[in-house]
Chain A
């Protein structure tokens, strides 16, 4: 791999970190550290975006880098932290699927994602093209995390992590989407998080807990 330029190596590194972090999220049960992992992902995204912007010389990528810095490193983690403190939910209860099993499934998912991304990667000319598989893996892993978690808030973190994966995919495979789309997505994510915040309070005041098992009343009997 030494033949690769340092930029590409940097991208690969960040991709690896991203993947690692999402595995960590899978296994992590302490919610605050979930938030920290999320912040870490934000940092990684920012860095890699900068790198790609530098190499490809597309200026709007700098903007999206800034966006992700503001949004994913500063704002969202802060909001989440605030919520956690206010609602004081520090620990997630035992996930539906025990950690090792989850890990196993996760690994299978990674393999699957790589296999799937094979034909697509050939297509991409971007320096970071080969990381598309990782991006997809991150998406699937966060999906898995959302499935296995029992607390509303950790589910939401999974949701945000999935969005990270998408962002990384866009950035790595295609040098980011058109600016207007980037902005729209960012806005949606922000608003979404805010609304979720509102929700937590609603759920809390209804069920005085953020445990998802209270939200299983509506069903066909």
Chain B
């Protein structure tokens, strides 16, 4: 029941807003739908806490420790982002960057995006997973080009083509998986793409096929995760789209894509006991972390900067999943959570900062602390959190990942050390000079929405010093399942 609500509400929202999105109350409706979605997800989570993992809709949908917290997270961030986008888009409208028609598109597509995310997370069917991922791309691509500027259109085009091509590879991988599964689960069996079934029989799947399949899947979904060298769309899309979209792209889409990769990794590792998948992921992870760190160094556009930082963190998570083992997986899951919370919070703060400054060029943003302390402190603490400063949660996960790496993969630690150091220097020197110093900024027409920022940071802070038992058990179970 909760499940259907969870999927239906955003779809309904999509249709409604597509119809009436141009009205002045559309933003509030958007918030309303998101709130409902969040409540539904909360109900689902509650049920899972009570009843444990669920398998619904003749096995087409299932909720297990791995995706339940991601569902909750997605719904939550979707909700807060909607709250943020209400004043943000109003200000954009006053600044004349968007008109009502575009807002209509924006709102309906936002809901559609949420729906596809949740579908991708909840479905048990790897084929549907693919469909949902593709749909997620399609629903966001027009949002990236919302401003119709040359840059935004270019960014959207790259986003579309690269992710489309990538996702096509993923489809091929899925087909191969299906092919291998059929051998075990019987001809044309519609169950042959159900993850639960595959997971049950993963030991018997043909290793050769699965390793080929994994390559396609990794390249495919990895493109959406933003793993280097497949990452090229990411900074453009983050920089040129509206800030709420950057927030959900960084905070949610990347997570979901990574979720897909990990689901596949479980099967492949189960079939080929060669650790191939793990090593591939570690390699991609390290490469992403390192390249992202160097990219960060020369950034001048603040949203690009944090786009690259997302690449870096996805790299860390991928590396951790690649290492495997209870601790690393636990840390990786935690890192997914705190990263999406922190990064979206940062984008909220950045959004308002850019609106104040009327530019995204960091050299022109100065003295936020002076002109509006809340935005300034929000950005400052968000940045410190994302850079892995305790007592924020990112530090906790990085603590576990780095210490594990030192034991498991010592060769990787110098790279990690170097990359983290460079990233810190690159990001912090910029943010510091934006937050501190004399100011050049102007006040905003509408009061900024900073509740989301501090709500997120508060959560991240909590996760830094205290992890709720339910969450911890989910992490542990998921970590054990991922292996």
Contacts and interface: CB of A to CB of B under 8 A. Distances in A.
Tell me, yes or no, whether A and B come into direct contact in the complex with CB atoms closer than 8 A. Answer: yes
Interface of A: 56, 58, 116, 119-120, 123-124, 136, 139, 143, 146, 152, 155, 159, 162-163, 166, 169-170, 173-175, 177-181, 184-185, 187-188, 191-192, 195-196, 198-199, 202-203, 206-207, 214-218, 220
Interface string B136-176: 00100110010011110111111011001100100110111
A202 B175 CA distance: 34
A217 B212 contact: no
Nearest to B237: A218
A181 B130 contact: yes
A207 B149 CA distance: 10
A56 B208 CA distance: 26
A173 B156 CA distance: 34
B131 A185 contact: yes
A178 B193 contact: yes
B157 A120 contact: no
Contacts of B138: 188, 191-192, 195
B176 A184 contact: no
Given A174-B178, A184-B131, A188-B138, A203 B153 contact: yes
B295 A220 contact: yes
Contacts of A175: 187-188
Nearest to B233: A218
Given A181-B125, A181-B131, A195-B142, A218 B153 contact: no
Q: Closest 8 CB pairs between A and B? A: A181-B127, A184-B131, A215-B154, A178-B190, A188-B134, A119-B208, A218-B236, A170-B175
B131 A188 contact: yes
Given A58-B188, A185-B131, A146 B157 contact: no
A196 B298 CA distance: 33
B153 A206 contact: yes
Contacts of B193: 177-178, 181
A207 B180 CA distance: 47
A173 B175 contact: yes
Given A120-B208, A139-B172, A202-B145, A177 B157 contact: no
B148 A206 contact: yes
Contacts of B295: 220
Contacts of A173: 175-176, 179
B99 to A, nearest CB: 15
**Among A170, A191, A216, residue most surrounded by chain B Cβ atoms (within 10 Å):** A170
Contact of B141 (A152, A159, A179, A195): A195
Contacts of A198: 142
A124 B127 contact: no
20 contacts: A120-B176, A123-B206, A143-B165, A159-B165, A180-B128, A181-B193, A184-B127, A185-B134, A187-B131, A188-B131, A188-B134, A191-B135, A192-B138, A195-B138, A195-B142, A198-B142, A207-B150, A215-B154, A215-B157, A217-B150
B182 A181 contact: no
B127 A178 contact: yes
B165 A123 contact: no
Interface string B55-73: 0000010000000000000
Given A139-B172, A214-B154, 13 more contacts: A120-B208, A123-B179, A170-B175, A178-B193, A185-B130, A185-B171, A195-B142, A199-B160, A203-B157, A215-B154, A215-B157, A218-B158, A220-B298
Nearest to B133: A188
Nearest to A207: B150
**Among A169, A180, A207, residue most surrounded by chain B Cβ atoms (within 10 Å):** A180
Nearest to A202: B153
B122 to A, nearest CB: 14
Contacts of B47: none
B153 A199 contact: yes
A169 B164 contact: no
**Among B150, B178, B179, residue most surrounded by chain A Cβ atoms (within 10 Å):** B179
B175 A162 contact: no
A180 B190 CA distance: 9
A207 B190 CA distance: 47
A214 B178 CA distance: 41
Contacts of B171: 166, 185
A27 to B, nearest CB: 21
Nearest to B183: A123
Nearest to A182: B127
A181 B133 CA distance: 12
B201 interface: no
A167 B141 CA distance: 24
